Structure formats: structure tokens, C-alpha cells
Amino acid sequence: MNATRRSLIAATLFAPAVARAQGWAPTRPVRFVVPFPAGGATDVVARVLGERMQETLGQPVVVENRTGAGGNVGVENVVRSAPDGTTILMGTTGTLTVNPHLYATLGFDPLRDLSPISMAFTTDHVLVVNPSVAAATAQEFLALVRAQPGRLSYGSAGSGSSTHTVPELFKLAARVDITHVPYRGSAPALNDLVAGNIQMMLDQIPSAIGQIRGGRVRALAVTGARRSALLPDVPTMAEIGLPDAQATSWGAVMAPGGLPAPIVARFNAAIADALGQQAVKDRLAAAGADGVGSSAEELAAYLRAESAKWARVVREARITVN
């Protein structure tokens, strides 16, 4: 085979993806990989967005739950998929910016091996204590903890979860010593908090709101930049003097690395359209999530900043996975 013929074949088979993507629209169903079980906030948001996105993209958007290893199984599946617009991922704080610092043998780098498309949603955490804890305010709680280093304990959904990393960030910012008690999920941890077997949690607001409203736990502070509409009387971490404890759990839509720019733009526009629909906003709010979009460039910068923040927390708090 002469060089000219080889060049023509190569140009046909391996033409620059950007050129092939001009005027791009999907011709096959799109897999929307969620690295967690069905029913959680991440899954719910993906399904709500996917329903609207398939209207604008003209192809079904099928949510596929690929679970395991703290979300790493689902993320790796997308990393290994072709960058052709048939596979996207609902990544999260943990899977994209915490896990790379927890798992020494991850085998891939989410920031290097995935293409950012758009932010999708955020949820804040809330500092809750058992009503028997002698603290009516966050300041009183901090004074109590400082007077009894290591005596109080907090529960989490397991080592490396957001309900573990966010409290560790709080401990670093407040310079306090609180003992970590890991559980197999947030629900059993919250149940033990209600029972008084642990004293505090920094749970996601959607998970804790029912127990707060029922008076079974007391809310002292939220981790978002602003007060939560669900808890308007509860101050932020910045308001109690701990701005460095601000933290938000979030979800972002990603794709295999090397996704052509026109495909990124088409998906980004479809997500922006979905997040602009009042029906979508209402459904996300009902799931305890705030719909938040971004440009791909804004998301890339945010991921770098979040990765640096959680790398420090993992390192300084000496967080390890079981």
C-alpha cells in the first residue's frame, strides 16, 4: 500500500473529531452514567435532566447506574468509553475531586481523562446535633468541643464520603478534635445521632431536613455560601466565624476525554436549556438540589480548585479508605 493511499485511509478513519462534529447531533441513544445506586440525589438529578435533554437532543438519554468502589467503577467506565457523544457522566465532588487523593491505584485521573461539560446541581450540608448536646448555637457547640477534645463523636456514610470529608474540613477550620464513627450510609448514621449514640453530623440538608423539622436533631450551621431556603434561620459557616469550613456537594456532567468542542457545546446547551425550565427547577428542588449550570471552562477551573482543596483535607486529616 503506497503512502498516499495509507494517508487517505487514515484521514477517513481518524479525521479530526472536531471536524466530524460540525453540526453535530446524536444519532444513537446517549448513556448517562450515574456511579451510584438508583434513588439517590445524583441519580434523581440525572434522570430529571435526561428527560429534558432527550427532547432537545432528539435521542433517548438513558440513565445507567454503574456502582462500586465509591463511584470509581462508573467513572472508569466513562473514561474508557469513546469520545463520540454517546456517553456522559454525572460526576460528583467525591468521584471527581476527592477519590483521586484517596485511592493510590485509581488508574485514571478524572481531571485529565474526562472532558468537562457543565455543572448540574449543588447541595449544602448542615451541622446537626442530638438535642441532648448542651449547645443551642454553633458557638456554644464549638466551646463544648474545645473543652472536651476527642470526647464527642460524629457519624458519616463511610470513610471518604462527603459526610466524612466535610466534617474533617470543619475540624481543620475550627481546630477541634471530634472522633469519626463511620457507618454504611448516611441513614444509619443519622439514626444513631437521633438515638444519641453519636453527638453530631454534617449531613446533606435533603437527608437531614425531616429530622430537623421533627425536632429530633438540632441544626446549628449550614456549609453553603448563603443560608438555605429550607433553613432560613440557620447561619452559615462564615457567619459563625469559620469561612474556611464552607463546602458544597455538587454534581457535574462530564464525558470521555477528548470530546470534540462542538459536541461539548451541544451538550452544554441542552443542560442549560433543561436547567432553565421551571418544571425541572421544581423537581430538583423537591429532591433537595439546586440546579446550577456553567460553561465547560468554568467547570474545569472549579474542578481544579476543588481538587486542591480536598487534597489538603485528605492529607492534613489523614483520611484513608477502608
For 71-113, the pLDDT digits (tens) are 899 999 999 999 999 999 999 998 999 999 999 888 999 999 9
What total of structural domains would you count in the chain?
2
218 residue type, one letter: R
Q: Please say whether the beta carbons of 86 and 26 come within 8 A.
A: yes
Q: Please say whether the beta carbons of 50 and 111 come within 8 A.
A: no
Q: Are residues 133 and 228 in the same domain?
A: yes
Assigned domain for 268 exists: yes
Q: Are residues 233 and 158 in the same domain?
A: yes
Q: What is the pTM of this model?
A: 0.78
Q: Are residues 139 and 219 in the same domain?
A: yes
Query: What's the whole-number mean pLDDT along residues 206-221?
Result: 93
Q: Are residues 153 and 241 in the same domain?
A: yes
Query: What's the whole-number mean pLDDT along residues 253-265?
Result: 97
**Given CA atoms 164, 38, 291, 205 in this order, what sign does their dihedral have?**
negative
What is the model's pLDDT at position 322?
A: 55
CATH number reported for the structural domain that contains residue 158 in this entry: 3.40.190.10
Taking only the tens place, the pLDDT of each residue in 115-170 is: 999 999 998 999 999 999 999 999 999 999 999 999 999 998 877 788 899 999 99
Proportion of the chain above pLDDT 70, given as a percent:
93
Q: Which residues contact 85 (CB under 8 A, 6 or more apart)?
A: 21, 24, 26, 30, 255, 259, 260, 263, 266, 267
Taking only the tens place, the pLDDT of each residue in 19-31 is: 444 478 899 999 9
C-alpha triplet 88, 93, 94: angle, nearest 5°: 95
Q: Which residues contact 265 (CB under 8 A, 6 or more apart)?
A: 296
* Alpha-carbon gap, residue 248 to 288, rounded angstroms: 13
- DSSP H helices, the chain, are 3-13, 17-20, 41-57, 72-79, 93, 99-102, 110-113, 138-147, 162-174, 186-195, 205-213, 261-275, 278-286, 296-316
Given a cut of 90, whether residue 39 has pLDDT beyond it is no
Given a cut of 80, whether residue 171 has pLDDT beyond it is yes
Taking only the tens place, the pLDDT of each residue in 191-205 is: 999 999 999 999 988
Given a cut of 50, whether residue 269 has pLDDT beyond it is yes
What is the model's pLDDT at position 16?
A: 45
End-to-end CA distance of the chain: 56
Q: Please say whether the beta carbons of 269 and 103 come within 8 A.
A: no
CATH number reported for the structural domain that contains residue 309 in this entry: 3.40.190.150
Beta strand 87-92 with 114-129 is: unpaired
Q: Are residues 140 and 234 in the same domain?
A: yes
What is the model's pLDDT at position 8?
A: 41
C-alpha grid cell, residue 110: 478524572
Given a cut of 60, whether residue 54 has pLDDT beyond it is yes
Q: Are residues 236 and 257 in the same domain?
A: no
Given a cut of 70, whether residue 318 has pLDDT beyond it is yes
Q: Please say whether the beta carbons of 96 and 109 come within 8 A.
A: no
What is the model's pLDDT at position 184?
A: 76
C-alpha grid cell, residue 220: 446549628
- pLDDT, greater one: 65 or 288: 65
Assigned domain for 13 exists: no
Assigned domain for 4 exists: no
Q: Where is the domain boundary, 245, 276, 303?
A: 245
Q: Where is the domain boundary, 230, 245, 260?
A: 245
State the chain's maximal CA–CA distance in angstroms: 83
Report the 10 Å Cβ neighbour count for 295.
16
pLDDT band at 12 (very low <50, low <70, confident <90, very high): very low
Assigned domain for 93 exists: yes
- pLDDT, greater one: 248 or 185: 248
What is the model's pLDDT at position 105?
A: 86
Domain membership of residue 107 as a residue range: 29-122+249-316
Q: Are residues 238 and 273 in the same domain?
A: no
